[in-house]
Chains A and B, each alone.
Chain A
Amino acid sequence: KAGVTQTPRYLIKTRGQQVTLSCSPISGHRSVSWYQQTPGQGLQFLFEYFSETQRNKGNFPGRFSGRQFSNSRSEMNVSTLELGDSALYLCASSTPEEETQYFGPGTRLLVL
């Protein structure tokens, strides 16, 4: 079974721009969660989608948003990019029957 895939793997943007990241979960997984990973803050939870609905939300500003499609694929968007948004963005998927989250390789975003 294929793992979680994320595209693109690397991205360079400038301040003020917006960016969209994509995540394809493991087949059959309906929950998709997004995390921001930085050296200073570790792994921080952004939001979780289940069956196209946002079920949980972390403590991030409204510039960070996401959505989930009927095939469980998910996208996250960051508007008005700031230098501090430079990070590794990780997507994880899971099934309703188990709490284990399976991570993708991440998208490394650099904001200049």
Chain B
Amino acid sequence: GENVEQHPSTLSVQEGDSAVIKCTYSDSASNYFPWYKQELGKGPQLIIDIRSNVGEKKDQRIAVTLNKTAKHFSLHITETQPEDSAVYFCAATAGGSYIPTFGRGTSLIVHP
């Protein structure tokens, strides 16, 4: 089955810095890669996603890149703000599976 590795497990940055979270996946059949943000006491919320026919996608301060050949994808957050502090999860879904495999999560701490 699919295996998703996520690094780092903890990331501490100063407000205004950029943050990068990296994930690798094992199943070449995976073609959908969502990223979720989970705040304390809440369920994961989708923040951005990318499909395998696209190399990069941006949404304001958030961007995701995908390298299908290397089987890795990354989340980039620019101009970080204290409200970006949360746990971020990457996931990979194989076509037709409907069930994503999640990474272990990255705790992002943005210091004011």
Contacts and interface: CB of A to CB of B under 8 A. Distances in A.
A104 interface: yes
Given A42-B105, A43-B89, A101 B43 contact: no
A100 interface: yes
Interface stretch (B17-25, B76-84, B92-100): B92-100
B43 A100 contact: no
| Most chain A Cβ neighbours within 10 Å, of B98, B101, B105 | B98
B44 A90 contact: yes
Contacts of A33: 98-99
Nearest to B95: A99
A106 B39 CA distance: 12
A33 B91 CA distance: 15
Given A56-B99, A105-B43, A100 B89 contact: no
A101 B46 CA distance: 8
Nearest to A98: B32
A45 B43 contact: no
Contacts of A72: none
Given A48-B99, A99-B32, A99-B98, A90 B43 contact: yes
| Most chain B Cβ neighbours within 10 Å, of A33, A42, A43, A90 | A43
A55 B32 CA distance: 19
Interface of A: 4, 31, 33, 42-43, 45, 48, 55-56, 90, 92, 94, 99-106
Interface of B: 32, 34, 36, 41-46, 49, 89, 93, 97-105
Given A42-B102, A99-B32, A99-B34, 20 more contacts: A42-B89, A42-B104, A43-B44, A43-B89, A43-B102, A45-B99, A45-B101, A48-B98, A48-B99, A55-B98, A56-B97, A94-B98, A99-B100, A101-B34, A101-B46, A102-B46, A103-B44, A103-B45, A106-B42, A106-B43
